[in-house]
A and B are shown apart, each in its own frame.
Chain A
Amino acid sequence: RKEVEQDPGPFNVPEGATVAFNCTYSNSASQSFFWYRQDCRKEPKLLMSVYSSGNEDGRFTAQLNRASQYISLLIRDSKLSDSATYLCVVVGGNNRLAFGKGNQVVVIP
């Protein structure tokens, strides 16, 4: 089983709509969680950290569910510029970042 599992999609979202997706992780000892954004043929960039109490940054909300070992990302009022792949990242005990394969979001005008 992979360390981090994501449904790659694509998630086709009408502009202005809300989209949400999860990723699951296998290592219950994981302590740190992040969402990275990767545009087509570009490098990943940190979008936001995921705290135990949740984290909100503008239209983006991230949640952590330790009991079920998943993290989620919700995007409200989707913009065309939100089209990208969102990578779920989990930091394991050895301080290595484990990436999921990403959720591809396509915002449609």
Chain B
Amino acid sequence: GAGVSQSPRYKVAKRGQDVALRCDPISGHVSLFWYQQALGQGPEFLTYFQNEAQLDKSGLPSDRFFAERPEGSVSTLKIQRTQQEDSAVYLCASSPREPHNEQFFGPGTRLTVL
């Protein structure tokens, strides 16, 4: 079956530009997560949705980062006024239910901010 998909796969932005990253989770998966993975590091938690409710956004690094999942399926991560330190791979993962024993990851969006 279809896995988690993300778009775009690659994004180059000029510093100060706004970007929007999309995640399509596995159909029926209740939980959706966003992670940021810098080069040579493990994924770092950004935010978590259960259906349309954003239950945890404690990992968002600044108020320039905003995520939504208005209908409980597709999610968008928006970064306003991008900075060079935002350059990373942004991974989306979904999970059928709690406990989140296995999360299924999308291929990620590689963001480069010039």
A residues sitting closer than 8 Å to B (CB atoms) are: 4, 6, 8, 32, 34, 42-46, 49, 87, 91, 94-102
Contact = CB atoms under 8 A, between A and B. Distances in A.
Given A43-B106, A43-B108, A45-B105, A96 B44 contact: no
Interface of B is mostly: loop
Interface of B: 33, 35, 40-45, 48, 56, 59, 91, 98-103, 105-108
A49 B101 contact: yes
8 contacts: A8-B40, A43-B106, A43-B108, A49-B101, A91-B100, A96-B59, A97-B45, A97-B103
B101 A99 contact: no
A4 B33 CA distance: 19
B102 A32 contact: no
Contact of B42 (A32, A91, A95, A102): A102
B107 A99 contact: no
Contacts of A45: 105
A49 B33 CA distance: 19
B46 to A, nearest CB: 10
Contact of B40 (A34, A49, A95, A101): A101
Nearest to B4: A43
A95 B95 CA distance: 12
A101 B41 contact: yes
A44 B99 contact: no
A101 B102 CA distance: 18
A99 B100 contact: no
Contacts of B91: 43-44
A99 B43 contact: yes
Contact of B100 (A44, A95, A100, A101): A95
A23 B72 CA distance: 35
